[in-house]
A and B are shown apart, each in its own frame.
Chain A
Amino acid sequence: MFEELKNESIIPDLDENIKRIEAICNDTSDLLVNRFRCGNVNACLLCCEAMFSTAMITELVLHPLMWVPESINDAYTLFDFIQNKLLLSADRLEVTNYADLFRTLNSGFAVVIADGIPLALSFGVQGFERRSVGEPSSEGNILGSHEGFCEVIRINMSLLRRRLKSPLFHMELFTLGTECKTDVCLCYMHDRVSKDFIAQIKQRLRKIELEAILTSGYVRPFLESERAHIFDSVGTSERPDVVCAKLIEGRVALLIDGIPFALTMPKLITESFQTLDDYCFKPFYATFIRLLKYAAFFISIFLPSIYVAFGVHHPDMLNPTLMDILREGEEKAPFPLLAEALGVLLMYEIIRESGLRLPRGVGGTVSIVGGLIIGDAAVSSGLISTPMLTIAAVSVLSGFVISDFAPQIAILRIVFLICGGLFGLFGIAAGATVVLFNICATESFGYPISSPISPFDLKAMRDTALRLGFRRLQKGNFTIKKLRSGEHGDE
């Protein structure tokens, strides 16, 4: 629709123009048409109900229009006077076609049309209801800022600009979605991102022909490589401070109107093990926490599979005491070890999913019923052994440490469990190698997501395996540019 309207110029005759506008939007109820006389010219103010601020439209549009002298007889002089003599909204546009007219109108702009001119003036007077800047819900933080992105792109842009005042910080606004025309903003530091990288992102965004962009998931697949990959090569963050840190390191962020998250590119796997709090604590503690996260990642994926592999295929590898404890626990359980483990993990996934989708109050109840009552009843009735429940609980809790990888961990945990249960330790090894190859083959705009571990970069290790103090980190500003394939470890 927008493509067709782009070629349709605004009709100069006011009545015909209004008729056409009403016809295009099918006489929608939320279109407000206010005819008035300005100077000696018939004009009309168009706006979309509940999308504008009454105070702003009065102060910035209606009130100044009252000062238009009676001597103005034609629309061209009127528009010239409004544009050049009246102090109206800072955000104003001249619109020549119906596509732009509707795009601005439906974004909360006030549009002025007049009789005898094929032009419309749009003034930014948005004032729709929105959620205010609040605490990020998915990225907890103790000592840092408590501001998170909200749904309005311009506010999100201001949250970034407030933190990055450098003139080198560049924001590029454009629209995506053939029908929704969602505003998106590409943010990057001019001096730290290659033109080629930006060109690649724009090229991929241009390929999007979706009608609407309603979540970041609509855009993300276009930014990732087409090869099937397990881990994400585009990151998300709800925190403006985290996005700023990524921009300073030479990444590119994409803000999307209506979504309180920013997409960041490229995303390396090691980023998921870093949190803002790491930089608030003492380096030794931050390093300890970081290593703990790496350990938790492996525990969450491999612990149930190794337990089952030991129990089913390699019982002789366990020491006698441990063997006795496990045998005692498993003897009473009616199901084979693999089936039992699969059952427990699937039950956890069901409880988690049900708790997530239900209203908050009911969700809590589901967690209690699922975790305490079903868990306790299953163990006391002998359906599930205590060691198995312990192993599953440790694995699931470890997975919470790296919330970024929740989908991958959930799937890989079950895949490895099947590998370990059916093929023993060799099955786990073969599966691990396949996953490792998949990770190493995944690139995000030419950046291997496995870097800086492989290709190895010693300098990047200061803030990857370890977290050195800022006295050392500030030396030789690190940017990810050098991790790009061909510029670093890979030749």
Chain B
Amino acid sequence: MNKISKGQLFTLNFTSGAFFVFSARYAQNLSELVATAISAVIIAAVILIFAAITKNKKPNIFINAVMFAVLLCAGAGCIASFFNAQNNADFGIDHKLLCAVLLGCAVIYCASLKLNAAARSSSIVFAATIFALVLLLIGAFPKLRLSRIDLSFDLKKSFDYCLTAISNTAIAAVAAALLIKRPKSGFGGYMSLGIVCASILSIVLSILAICIGNVDAPKYFELAKAAQPFSVQSGEWIYIIIYGMLSVLCLSLIVNLAADCLLQVFPKIRFQTVISALLTFVCAHLMTRFSLSTQTVLAASSIGAVVLLSAMLFIPKTRYQKDS
């Protein structure tokens, strides 16, 4: 296994989480905000449980195969989210096939490198994301009207939204794959922290979107357009670039992990990265062909993660060996 530090695991999870946060619909009232917070806690808890279960365990072929399927679903969901965002934002490239080819080429190259290239890149993308968010906050601050927050609380709405939020976080699948590859103790906490931070980001952006008003889905781009930093129009190009980087990073990470799982299942396979990337894109295409919503596919990956969680319980503990 490539050498990845705890800090890098945090940034990997945060940046992947941030991609899903930026792609998704934000909470629109207090009930949904509470639901977002609850879902974050639940996912963090699941990851901690997963970390405890996978500790010192080496996954077998079955686990790797399930993980591969889960990651394909997560990747397909990721691509669907990306194209959903592309429909709603000015990416500069309207032709979907061309966009998919560009994204695919970038992802195949990035995923073919070692996992620690993704880990190191995530630290830099993390810093750039934080910079963009600070700009966003500066831009949004003068337009904030706290009175716009709907303070009414509905438990049923909250519960429904919580389920949606949980099924949306395919990032849990990424965390699970990373944990399987890194079965040492002490990493689950950092991953959970990454996801909790991404959820906090979601809550903050939701509050900003509510307080600014007139912001439609996908909120990130609308919010960026509404909150121009220092009142300079065209400031939103920064957010598009950050989103583009996050999408390539997140998808590369998923494809890289999927390729590794594929290699574990078929040790003699070649071009596993290209195969994984192509299968992910095929899954995303089939998803749109059969009109499956992103949410359905991400829910499937979450179910897969639960299957994994259960399956890992029956794997005997093996002595952890540090790969070179």
Measuring CB to CB, which residues of chain A are less than 8 angstroms from any residue of chain B?
Answer: 306, 309-310, 312-314, 316-319, 322, 422-434, 436-438, 440-441, 448, 450, 453-456, 485-486, 489-491
Say yes or no for B62: interface residue by CB 8 A criterion: no
- A316, A454, A456 — most chain B CB neighbours (10 Å): A454
Contact A432 B245 (CB under 8 A): yes
Chain A residues whose CB sits within 8 angstroms of the CB of B99 once the complex forms: 423, 426
Say yes or no for B118: interface residue by CB 8 A criterion: yes
Q: With A425-B244, A437-B121, A456-B7 as given contacts, are A430 and B106 in contact (CB-CB < 8 Å)?
A: yes
Chain A residues whose CB sits within 8 angstroms of the CB of B252 once the complex forms: 433, 437
Shortest Cβ distance from B103 into A: residue: A430
- A24–B92 Cα gap in the complex (Å)? 69
Chain A residues whose CB sits within 8 angstroms of the CB of B123 once the complex forms: 453-456
- A441–B123 Cα gap in the complex (Å)? 13
Contact B102 A427 (CB under 8 A): yes
Contact B124 A454 (CB under 8 A): yes
Q: With A426-B244, A448-B120, A486-B3 as given contacts, are A310 and B106 in contact (CB-CB < 8 Å)?
A: no
Out of A426, A440, A491, name the residue touching B92 (CB < 8 Å).
A426
Say yes or no for B151: interface residue by CB 8 A criterion: no
Chief secondary structure at chain A's binding surface: helix
Contact A437 B117 (CB under 8 A): yes
Q: With A425-B92, A429-B244 as given contacts, are A314 and B124 in contact (CB-CB < 8 Å)?
A: no
Measuring CB to CB, which residues of chain B are less than 8 angstroms from any residue of chain A?
Answer: 3-8, 86, 90-93, 98-99, 102-103, 106, 109-110, 113-114, 116-121, 123-125, 232-234, 236-237, 240-245, 247-249, 252
Task: Determine how close the nearest CB of chain A comes to the CB of B129; give it in whole angstroms.
Answer: 12
Chain B residues whose CB sits within 8 angstroms of the CB of A450 once the complex forms: 120, 124
10 more CB-based (< 8 A) A-B contacts, given A429-B247, A434-B248: A310-B237, A313-B92, A318-B233, A426-B86, A428-B241, A429-B242, A429-B244, A432-B241, A437-B113, A490-B3
Chain A residues whose CB sits within 8 angstroms of the CB of B86 once the complex forms: 426
Shortest Cβ distance from B123 into A: residue: A454
Task: Determine how close the nearest CB of chain A comes to the CB of B276; give it in whole angstroms.
Answer: 16
What are 22 inter-chain pairs, A to B, with CB distance below 8 A? Answer: A310-B237, A314-B92, A316-B90, A424-B91, A424-B92, A425-B237, A426-B92, A429-B240, A429-B241, A430-B103, A430-B244, A433-B106, A433-B125, A433-B249, A434-B110, A434-B248, A436-B121, A437-B118, A440-B113, A440-B120, A450-B124, A490-B120
- A424–B124 Cα gap in the complex (Å)? 22
- A424–B99 Cα gap in the complex (Å)? 10
Chain A residues whose CB sits within 8 angstroms of the CB of B118 once the complex forms: 437, 440
Chain B residues whose CB sits within 8 angstroms of the CB of A490 once the complex forms: 3-5, 8, 116, 119-120
Task: Determine how close the nearest CB of chain B comes to the CB of A173; give it in whole angstroms.
Answer: 34
- A422–B118 Cα gap in the complex (Å)? 26
Task: Determine how close the nearest CB of chain B comes to the CB of A448; give it in whole angstroms.
Answer: 6
Shortest Cβ distance from B231 into A: residue: A319
- A426, A428, A431, A489 — most chain B CB neighbours (10 Å): A426
Chain B residues whose CB sits within 8 angstroms of the CB of A316 once the complex forms: 90
Out of A306, A319, A455, name the residue touching B5 (CB < 8 Å).
A455
Chain A residues whose CB sits within 8 angstroms of the CB of B116 once the complex forms: 440-441, 448, 485, 490
- A313–B94 Cα gap in the complex (Å)? 10
